[in-house]
Structure 1
């Protein structure tokens, strides 16, 4: 009876043996002693030694210079396409999104709309900053926002504080930031808007 099974399924067993039998598994643990053997075989199968260092060096430099040129052209072209045809407010929103990329667009829009509504108000700069940000972060107390906003009022003259804050959080994710860090970014956005109100 066993012979009948072997006779009827030799093709299937040969196929399974072919698929699973001689497969070389990639060594996921580089400290494994067998990994050195695997990598040396792979290195020998890929022959870079056909070129000398003198041949590779100028080609590599020109390749990366070409990539850099393409990237810069693409980046400037994309930015100019994004900015064309927008109203002043839309262009301001776009510029703020480019500058404060970590901040969600909805929060930027709320702060911008609030700042535009305060353009002709008699509130102090400190009050304007806190009102703008409180609209986007209603769960924060006004007193806490006042404390956070004071350095921004004093820094309105130089703008260095905004640049430092943007640099610190450039590679951050919004949801990983604390409420205080999010509020500071909101205050930085409000500062940029309120300080540029004369140009709109």
Structure 2
């Protein structure tokens, strides 16, 4: 009978029950004051209240300091982005990527020095106060300086309108303008049109590079 009782699960004590028993058997000074009416419990509750008040003050101060910190950080970043060194390094990075893109897309149809000149001018005037038409004309005049700007503006007008409408210039459309002919076989007006299309493509690529770098 005794063995049956000792072996029964009825008298097995869980860890939670042991911890509760241990708490109840501790000295009163080390345990929670179960009787709120006891005078000695006032000090305990006062100490807790002061602790909570201190935590509230610390949280409020931390929030204020965090706002100040992030505001200073934003100011520092803004100042960094507006420095001449940052702008110069950014343009170098944009130019390098744009040149690689133009070379990979058109080097087998258009002279490399033309692509390099258009890329340099497009990067130089990118995000300027000039209109899209003015940017296109300046890019083409770097490779065709003998062309009158008014004539180039007429050629640039439909492309400028297309860019404002969100239309993009594809590689294939530029390549189709050259066809299977050698560059030297193209007439001057054909070279101007191809150069204008490449300038349009270059500015579109710069817009994409700029958006990617900001993310």
**Whole-angstrom CA distance in 1 between matches of 2:123 and 2:97:** 14
In structure 2, the partner of 1:134 is: 141
In structure 2, the partner of 1:176 is: 185
1:122 counterpart (126, 129, 137): 129
- Matched length: 114
Report the alpha carbon displacement of residue 159 of structure 1 after superposing the two structures with TM. Answer: 2.5
Contact 2:139–2:199 (CA<8 Å) still a contact in 1? yes
The structure 1 segments of at least 4 consecutive aligned residues displaced by more than 6 Å after TM superposition are none
Contact 2:169–2:201 (CA<8 Å) still a contact in 1? no
Unaligned runs of 5+ in 2: 1-92, 211-215
Q: Check if 1:104 corresponds to 2:111.
A: yes
Q: Check if 1:191 corresponds to 2:197.
A: no
Flag the 1:168–1:188 CA change in 2: closer, same or farther, 3 A.
closer
Contact 1:152–1:161 (CA<8 Å) still a contact in 2? no
1:95 counterpart (95, 101, 111): 101
**Whole-angstrom CA distance in 1 between matches of 2:169 and 2:123:** 23
Greater Rg by CA: 2
Flag the 1:190–1:168 CA change in 2: closer, same or farther, 3 A.
closer
Q: What is the CA deviation profile of residues 91-123 of structure 1, one whole-angstrom value per residue up to 9, with x for unaligned ones?
A: 422321232231101011111111111013211
TM-score normalised to structure 2 length: 0.48
Unaligned runs of 5+ in 1: 1-86
Q: Give the superposed CA RMSD.
A: 2.0
Q: What is the CA deviation profile of residues 64-89 of structure 1, one whole-angstrom value per residue up to 9, with x for unaligned ones?
A: xxxxxxxxxxxxxxxxxxxxxxx653
**Whole-angstrom CA distance in 2 between matches of 1:145 and 1:191:** 13
**Whole-angstrom CA distance in 1 between matches of 2:123 and 2:160:** 18
Contact 1:104–1:174 (CA<8 Å) still a contact in 2? yes
Report the alpha carbon displacement of residue 158 of structure 1 after superposing the two structures with TM. Answer: 2.3
